[in-house]
Structure 1
Amino acid sequence: MHLDKQFWYGVALGVLGIVLFSSKAVMVKLAYNYNIDAISVLLLRMLFSFPFYLVIAYWYRNQNSDALVEAKDYVWLVFFGLVGYYLASYFDFVGLTYIKASLERIILFLYPTIVLLFNRIFLKKAITKIQIIAIILTYLGIVIAFSDEVAISGSDTYLGGFFILLSAITYASYLVGSGWLIPKFGVMKFTAYAMIVSCVCVFIHYGLINEMDIFSFSWEVYGLGFLIACFATVIPSFLVSASIKMINSSNFAILAGIGPISTIILAAVFLNEVLTWLQLFGALVVIIGILLVSTRKAT
């Protein structure tokens, strides 16, 4: 394939993957209309995703087979599967019971700046002046969007925002901590293994509090669970991997700015959510901050 065509094909795959990922919050909010709790929606997501990741794990079982993988590497893999996909997803789903899908995506979008802070604190990596400006901008944007929502929706917004922030922090810690493991296992095998760990954690969590009663939901809930698993989890994960391979991770990071915008549009169409002009301004400030970080990486 011609280089320019391959680049734009990678961009198209990346945009589609981001939009599909963004649809998750909207579908979760739709599921909550059927009197279902956060862990039950998360269970359905993992239940329908589980077979896909088992197949992927088997298919890529020999990937990076010549790499030296020690027993402690598997221990860390389990840990990051627990933190990055189980806890981050759980906090996200709980937070969505309290706040708008569009606001959720704006707060989650903080994770690149949290990665920068973690790299500075734990890996002693320097933060540039542009990155400092970007961090200030993103948090300023969150304060603008969040404060206006608190005035509209009340104090529950604080609780929802806190859980979404926890989700961003746990996901950022996964990205920082798992970076040295991925080359050992390979991207596909590591992701599949981490997702399988996450699925098992969710199954155990649900079993402890709900006695695994998975046959009592309405058909709409099962349908949404399947859509979340396939179209907001498995398929976009492949699209994003393919896009990163074609256009590199720095260019993809810039594309990711579409995420909050697509969520705002989808939430307006399917949930009748409306952001105030002040919240839209806050979202724009966050996106500009992240683009500053991403553009800096790409240069």
Structure 2
Amino acid sequence: MDRHNIVLNIFLTSLVPIVWGSTYLVTTEFLPPDAPLLAAVLRALPAGLILIAFGRQLPTGGWWVRAALLGVLNIGAFFYFLFVAAYHLPGGVAALIMSIQPIIVLLYGVVLFGNAITATQVLACVLAAVGVALVVLRPEAELNVVGVTAGLGGALSMATGIVLTKRWGRPAGTSLLTFTGWQLAFGGAALLPIALVYEGLPPVLTVRNWLGLGYLGLFGALAAYALWFRGIERLPALSVSFISLLSPLSATLLGYWFLNEQLNWLQLLGGVGVLGAVFLAQPNINLFARFQRPRHGEA
């Protein structure tokens, strides 16, 4: 892969956590309150069904199980843990705990595939943790056992989803959009009964609510996850996991621009640290190449 394609792939993949970072802004300003899981269902399930209908292709054989598992890990379980952590922890603490997922991906490579850990990777992990902490933590932040456990579960879910998506690829002859649709549909369907039991149906949705849900469904799910899985196909698993750390940075900047939230020099320094960690994780393009099985007809 030449340098031009590498830069393009990094750029397109980086758009995803930047869009995901807008979720907080859209949720607080456009969506009905106290229904985060139902919002996640309405974000993922319709987008998944639209993509499946467009592609007119369902999983076959063992891909029913694989697609369901990937959908739960990448979307269903991840969203659930994310919202539980957000309810029990200040947003900064939740974001900091979730930022350990590149470390989990790194450890997967060591334990499962015998990859060596380099000094650059360690430095990137340290920069990422310190950078996210400076961006999102506040002096009044407190820990909660349920919230911390959920945050760790979300990090583990996302890291495992990245690794398995890289390892399995997608079936020969299946488009990226169809593959994305399978996962969105399975992930949204897994969340649906939980949302109905714990949150129930919301009151009548306003035009503003529908606009927010439309944005999250079209850009935050359909387009974002298609680019995300494209990035996992073309970049190392560890590189993609570090790119996801742009999400809290995006959320902080959007809060500053649109919600009049404060932004100090420590947060700016943390943002530089996050960008440095993402940059350090990108050069070794062959990292975790063994995760990807050759597709049908490839050597």
TM range (shorter): 0.7 to 0.9
Go from structure 1 to structure 2 and tell me whether the alpha carbon gap of 1:219 and 1:188 turns closer, same or farther (over 3 Å shift).
Answer: closer
Kept in 2, the 8 Å contact 1:87–1:167? The answer is yes
Counterpart amino acid of 1:205? Answer: I
Kept in 2, the 8 Å contact 1:17–1:240? The answer is yes
1:286 to 274, 279, 282: 274
Counterpart amino acid of 1:170? Answer: S
Tell me the CA shift for residue 88 of structure 1.
Answer: 0.7
Kept in 2, the 8 Å contact 1:41–1:225? The answer is yes
1:116 to 103, 106, 109: 106
Kept in 1, the 8 Å contact 2:245–2:274? The answer is no
Match of 2:181 in 1: 192
Check if 1:24 corresponds to 2:23.
yes
Tell me the CA shift for residue 11 of structure 1.
Answer: 7.2
2:38 to 37, 40, 44: 40
Match of 2:51 in 1: 56
SS of the residue corresponding to residue 24 of structure 2 reads helix
Match of 1:180 in 2: 167
Counterpart amino acid of 2:188? Answer: C
What count of residue pairs does the alignment treat as equivalent? 281
Counterpart amino acid of 1:29? Answer: T
- 1:118-177, Cα deviation, whole Å (9 max, x unpaired): 22223332222211222233233345556x51x23x426886566444323211111112
Go from structure 1 to structure 2 and tell me whether the alpha carbon gap of 1:278 and 1:12 turns closer, same or farther (over 3 Å shift).
Answer: closer
C-alpha distance in 2, partners of 1:214/1:26? 20
Kept in 1, the 8 Å contact 2:35–2:202? The answer is no
Query: Which ranges of structure 1 fall in alignment gaps of 5 or more residues?
Result: none
Check if 1:205 corresponds to 2:194.
yes
Kept in 2, the 8 Å contact 1:38–1:90? The answer is no
Tell me the CA shift for residue 204 of structure 1.
Answer: 1.4
1:135 to 121, 125, 129: 125
Tell me the CA shift for residue 198 of structure 1.
Answer: 0.8
2:215 to 224, 227, 233: 227
Match of 2:90 in 1: 99
User: Identity percentage over the alignment?
Assistant: 19
Counterpart amino acid of 2:279? Answer: L
Check if 1:80 corresponds to 2:70.
yes
Check if 1:249 corresponds to 2:235.
yes
Counterpart amino acid of 1:200? Answer: A
Go from structure 1 to structure 2 and tell me whether the alpha carbon gap of 1:169 and 1:10 turns closer, same or farther (over 3 Å shift).
Answer: closer
C-alpha distance in 2, partners of 1:296/1:229? 33
Q: RMSD value over aligned CA atoms? A: 3.9
Tell me the TM-score normalised to structure 2 length: 0.73
